Amino acid sequence: MKILVTGAEGFIGRNLCIRLARIDGWQVIPFDLSNDVEYLYAAISEAEAVVHLAGINRPNDPSEFVSGNLGLTSDIAGYLERIGHMTLVIFASSIQAELDNDYGRSKRAAEERLKLYAERTGSCVRIFRFANVFGKWCKPNYNSAVATFCHNVAHDLPIRINDPDIPLRLIYIDDVVAAIIRELELYSISRGFSFANAKPVYATTVGAVADTIHMLHDGRLSGLLPDFSDPLIKKLNSTYLSYLEPQDIPLPANMRRDGRGWLFELVKSIQGGQLFVSTTLPGKKRGNHFHDTKVEKFCVVSGQARISLRRVDGTTRLDFDVDGETVQIVDIPPGYTHSILNTGNENCVTIFWANEIFDPARSDTYYIEV
């Protein structure tokens, strides 16, 4: 299927075109401001579906709403009628179409023009009234609070909020793209004019979003993961990371070095505990302690080591010889004193996981030889 995407260089357009290009048998015909009307008409003649994303939302003059939203839509619908093609049209409208403002009226008028096209030709038209779309590559300081907050926080710039309690309805870019693709896939069994839905839509506030993005920024610097069971937080985190400058993507690890080697915290989570990475020099040992409740996992990924355990009220010692070639994950139950000894000739690299974040005031760590 050949699909004409208008506004292909815009925020939604870029994400959609990349996704469409991965689908076997589908070909994208991109259209944007750099193309002229002759190119548009040639593309319409060739396309089996039109995803109409192009539009105006921040004009210099309000009259541009009509020319940019209704005008282009009328050109597309009118040309399809003239050449007699029953082409699927998917239109990106806005929740603003429900409001009585210049932008909303222009979007509503474009919807009505496409409804007329469907009635005249029997073609399929699907209208999405998108909420505030957020995600990677959205232009900051333009018309997206999420994009502006992510950009400014990532660049240590202030953000200004007049009223933190203003409601905000958000939808994530990948959910928008998935909804559009769904309608393209249903084209063969769809006819007529109707509204389509993109879900999920998240109801929040401007202040809550700003607070979340600040939390994600601070957590990244400290290694504290957010609660990814909340889908909005997960999507806001992905969005925030997309606004980092290239030089800011790497973060230096806080290395703790001693005579045994080095150790650093990789990530930590209130829900999921803490992950460490360490090296242990040949012949050196770590551990010789136990926990009442805390549990851990040891995983040697390079080198050779012996992980030893002994129940603190017993005498039987358990030794597990491990190495980075035949990787094993060793659970450390509570009440077992444990150690790890580098038995090789090279550095031993180990990943440690604990089910809670280390708290010096309540470490649940008691030293005793295995």
What positions carry a catalytic annotation? 103
3-state helix, strand, coil in the chain (%, to 5): 35, 30, 35
Among left, alpha and beta (phi > 0; psi -120 to 50; other), residue 41 is alpha
SS3 state at 130: strand
Size (the chain), residues = 370
For residue 192, the one-letter residue type is G
User: Cα separation of 15 and 315, whole Å?
Assistant: 61
Q: In 3D, which of 326, 329, 260 has the Cα closest to residue 295?
A: 329
Token pair belonging to 100: 């009585």
Q: Residues 259-280, buried b or exposed e (16+ Cβ, 10 A)?
A: ebbebbbebbbeeebbbbbbbb
